Amino acid sequence: MASPKRRAETAPAHRPSADAGTDLLVIEGLDVVYGGGGGGGVFGLSPRTGFRAVAGVDLALRRGESVAIVGESGSGKTSLLQALVGLAPVAAGRVRLGDVELTRLRGRDVRRARRDMQFVFQDPYSSLDPSMRIGQLLDEPLRVHLRSWSRAQREERVREVIESVGLATSVLGRYPNEFSGGQRQRIAIARALTVEPKVLLLDEPVSALDGSTQGQVLNLLHDIQQRTGVAYLMVAHDLPLVRLFADRIAVMYQGRVVESGPAAALMAAPRHPYTRSLLDASPLPNPTVQRARPRVTLPDETSDAPTPPCCAFAPRCPERFDRCDAEAPAAYPVGPDRLARCFLHAEGTDALEASDAPHA
Amino acid sequence: MTPSPAENAQPDLPLLRTESLSVSFVNRGTRTAVVSDVSFDVAAGECLAIVGESGSGKSVTAKAILGLLRGTNADVSGRILFAGRDLLRLSGRALDRVRGAEIGAVFQEPMTSLNPSFTVGNQVAESARRHLGMGRREAWDRAVEMLDRVGIANARQRAKAYPHEFSGGMRQRVMLAAALVTEPRLLVADEPTTALDVTIQARVLNLTRQLCDEMGSAALFITHDLGVVADIADRVHVMYAGEMVESATVYDLFESPRHPYTAGLLSCSPGLDAERGHLPVIRGSVPQPGEWPDGCRFHPRCPHAVEVVCTEGPVAIEATATGSVRCRRHAELRLDGVQSEVPVWAVRTPAGGH
């Protein structure tokens, strides 16, 4: 690893293009279980099994890439993101960042590795300590991760970063409550960027913002990525929005990735019925078109979980057939770099495809 | 329920009319205006959407109509005429009779709007008992029927459940059932689907429209989401910094916006196509109450603002051929509406297709 000082000096330059395309962050078979192991059972769950919020997720993030994890509440998307930085209990699986296997680290090594992966929270109103000045907020991660730096070095870095998110250095002496939501989210992003992470984990970074300012923050993230080569792993619930941000999309349902692939291809022709349902339910801001769209609504999520083995989405799925109740689908390839966890795409079942629906 | 004209003191009045509705909050002698001079009509059976971002005053407008600002530090002026009666002049008791029986309300947070210590059936039945004078048993049957209509499966059993046993989407449908059980003439819904997942939002929107159609109720829908507006509204009012800046039918508003703020909001909609890294934005941010600029309140962010014309003096709202707009340059501006092409994600391809 390069010395902290050298990394800072080379920060504004483009990363070598040879880096592009290699996997930077690799997640394999990740399980997040709440309430498992020791302690009593909560909310009626048996203390031994707990609640499996993330179930065997595989995901890879390349250098300089943006991947979005999309799902509804309870899909496990936020737990997945939190597990990467130790904010949710990992029960199984491996997480590798560069050459370092994070799931095996202990003590000081954990802190060193975390420098490379910084988190931006959803709500910029609660994620910034209201009693700290912006300058102090941005200085804090440097003090934690770059202890050898002098005060002057840190101050220089803080000024550089605040300007890189489009704010003037004069804001450094002010407090968070003096800023609008969009400005606060810029500050939160700046704070995450001070230590030059390789990966930024973004939890719904624009959903607390006004529509007219969401684009400002997404454009800023894009600019920063062009400049520094940082990779983004973003969690969001709004598919039409994330396609304006992500290279690849992973759709989660009840702890599993049910479909993944390049953003454009996935949006143009989703392969999992759940992805299709999400798009059908997203209202299009055009009354003429919106009112002509078919109104397809999913049944309620049943309170009693389907008995495994079966597809978790089967009880709500418009395409459900016998096999869906009998076994759990694997992730089947459905195109270049695309996977769908649905029996419609298991070998030999292509004949079941609906032929009456129009193609794009 | 179709309102009979005889109930209206002045039959030529719409169901709901606000006249110069203004709200300011008074805090330690300091007065901050949050809604200025808002006037609009809602006709019987119509769905009017009020669209705005945070700080636009849209929710405060809804609260004022529902009388929820009484007993707070809010100073409400103007007139709110509902079926000919000025709600601002009604006694608390008289307002209680109107609210619930004739006006139903649904709010953003279904968890905090329901009482956790009563069954959901009880809470829907309570409306029927209080406002329709039904007996216990009759009200319960009515509640079960209503829960069934909002799509709660196995309603007779589920009516005995408590709110925490329901998901967010089910709770919001319980709220809708409680609001509509009296077949009110007006439903006021303040961001009713914002906290819901899109698949559940679609259900709640479908239901709201369907129930309003069946009962002939009018709806006042407060939202920040233009997709929701496109789905449900007949007419739209756009609010910015406490003022109405544009009013039009839903089709006119999306196809040919007259106010630069409306056009800006439309272009920022994430559902529409845009180039990555160059997403359309409105520069700056929404000014908070107390920080509204002189002249047109939108001028510091407006790409069409010119000195003096836009920067001095209050701007009046003017009638146009299709609605009204608060912009001194509206006659000379040609603003873009939404494109007619359908973004690729909204074209339905079968999930099983290749």
Mean pLDDT, range A179-191, rounded to an integer: 92
Which candidate from A180, A300, A319 shows the least CB-CB separation from B351?
A319
Which of A225, A290, A324, A339 has the highest number of chain B CBs within 10 A, making it the mutation to test binding with B? Answer: A290
Query: At B95, which amino acid appears?
Result: L
Task: Tell me what pLDDT residue B309 has.
Answer: 92
- With a CB-CB cutoff of 8 Å, which residues 196-225 of chain A face chain B? 210-216, 218-219, 222-223
Give the bridge partners for A202, in sequence order. Answer: A120, A234
**Alpha helix ranges (H) inside B256-349:** 260-268
Q: What's the gap in Å between the CA of A223 and the closest CA on chain B? A: 7
Average pLDDT (A44-71) is 85
Q: Does A322 touch chain B (CB under 8 A)?
A: no
Q: How confident is the model at residue A57, as a pLDDT?
A: 96
CB contact under 8 A, B231 and A291: yes
Tokens of A351: 């004949």
Rounded CA-CA distance A83/A43 in Å is 22
| Contact state of B254 with A226 under an 8 Å Cβ cutoff | no
State pLDDT tens for residues B295-316: 999 999 999 999 999 999 999 9
- Which residue type occupies A338? R
Which residues are within 8 A (CB) of A106 and not within 5 positions of it... i.e. 6 or more apart? none
Per the model's pLDDT, the better-predicted residue between A10 and B179 turns out to be B179
Contacts of B280 in chain A (CB under 8 A): 215
A305 or B58, higher pLDDT? B58
Amino acid at residue number B74: A
Is the CB of residue A277 less than 8 Å away from at least one CB of chain B?
yes
Q: How far apart are CA B176 and CA B189, in angstroms?
A: 9
Q: Please provide the DSSP assignment of B239-253 as one string.
A: EETTEEEEEEEHHHH
Quick check: A246 pLDDT over 80?
Answer: yes
Let me know: does A176 contact A187? Beta carbons within 8 Å: yes
pLDDT of residue A28: 96
Chain-chain contact of B269 with A238 (C-beta, under 8 angstroms)? no
Mark yes or no for CB contact B198/A360 under 8 Å: no
- Within a 10 A sphere around the Cβ of A105, how many other Cβ atoms? 17
d(CA B274, CA A243): 10
Domain-wise residue ranges, chain B: 111-183
Q: Is A327 on the interface with B (CB under 8 A)?
A: no
Beta carbons within 10 angstroms of residue A168's beta carbon: 9
Residue A5's pLDDT is 42
Burial class (CB within 10 angstroms; exposed 0-12, middle 13-18, buried 19+) of A96: middle
A315-339 pLDDT, tens digit per residue, is 889 999 999 989 999 999 999 999 9
Which residues of chain A from 340 to 359 reach within 8 Å of chain B, CB to CB?
342, 344-345, 350, 352-354, 357-359
**Which residues, other chains included, contact A221 with Cβ-Cβ below 8 Å and sequence gap of 6+?**
A189, A200, A202, A205, A232, A245
The two beta strands, A248-253 and A231-236, are: unpaired
Res B153: pLDDT: 83
Spatial strand order of the sheet with A248-253 comes to: A117-120, A199-203, A231-236, A66-70, A248-253, A256-262, A338-340, A332-335
Which residue is closest to A179 within chain B, CA to CA?
A: B285
Cα–Cα distance measured from residue A200 to residue A198, given in angstroms and rounded to the nearest whole number: 7
What's the CA gap between A232 and A199, in Å, rounded?
Answer: 6
pTM here? 0.88
Write the ipTM. 0.89
Cβ-nearest to A270 among B265, B339, B351:
B351
Residues on chain A touching B269 (C-beta within 8 angstroms): 211, 285
**Can you give the pLDDT at residue A15?**
39
- From residue A86, how far is each of A74, A95, A111, B60 by CA, in Å? 19, 11, 11, 41
CA distance A158 to A150: 12
CA distance A326 to A309: 6
Intervals of chain B under pLDDT 70: 1-11, 110-111, 353-354
The residue in chain B having the minimum alpha-carbon distance to the alpha carbon of residue A273 is: B351
Return the half-sphere exposure (C-beta side, CA atoms, 13 A cut-off) of residue A133.
10
**Number of cross-chain residue pairs from A and B with Cβ atoms under 8 Å apart:** 212
Q: Does A178 touch chain B (CB under 8 A)?
A: no
| Residue range A157-168: mean pLDDT, rounded | 94
Higher pLDDT, B168 or A69: A69
Top pLDDT among A252 and A356 is at A252
Q: A3 pLDDT band (50/70/90 cuts)?
A: very low
Is residue B67 within 8 Å of residue B99, measured between CB atoms?
Answer: yes
Cis preceding linkage at B287, omega within 30: no
Is any Cβ of chain B less than 8 angstroms from the Cβ of A279?
yes
Residues 6+ apart with CB under 8 A from B351: A270, A271, A272, A273, A275, A276, A319, A342, A344
- C-alpha–C-alpha distance, residues B275 and A37, integer Å: 48
Least confident interval from A117-121, A133-137, A219-223, B112-116:
B112-116
> Looking at chain A from residue 60 to 119, which residues have their Cβ under 8 Å from any Cβ of chain B?
72-73
- What is the end-to-end Cα distance of chain B in Å, rounded? 49
Write down the pLDDT at residue A108. 81
Determine the residue type at A271: R
Residues of A with Cβ-Cβ distance to B198 under 8 angstroms = 72, 237-238, 278, 281-283
Q: With bands split at pLDDT 50, 70 and 90, how would you rate the model's confidence at A37?
A: low
Which candidate, A33, A30, A55, places its Cα nearest to that of A256?
A55
- Which are the contacts of B113, defined by CB distance < 8 A and separation ≥ 6? B106, B107, B175
Euclidean distance between CA atoms B166 and B156, whole angstroms: 15
Find all residues with CB under 8 Å of B319, minimum gap 6, and list them. Answer: none
A281 and B354 within 8 Å at the Cβ level: the answer is no
Contacts of B170 in chain A (CB under 8 A): 300
Burial of A125 (0-12, 13-18, 19+ CB in 10 A): middle
Closest CA of chain A from B190, distance in Å = 16
Please answer yes or no on whether B53 and A210 come within 8 Å at the CB atom: yes
- Inform me whether the pLDDT recorded for A52 exceeds 80: yes
| A214, A218, A281: residue with CB nearest B201 | A281
Among B151, B286, B351, beta carbon nearest to A210: B286
Give the closest residue to A120 by CA, choosing from A209, A228, A208, A205. Answer: A205
pLDDT digits (tens, 9 = 90+) for A206-218: 988 888 889 999 9
Retrieve residue B225's tokens. 């989401």
What amino acid occupies position A326? A
Angle at which helix B120-132 crosses helix B136-149, to 10 degrees, equals: 120
Band (pLDDT 50/70/90 cuts) for residue A51 is confident
Residue tagged 């930077």 (tokens) = A24
Residue keyed to tokens 């009779």: B97
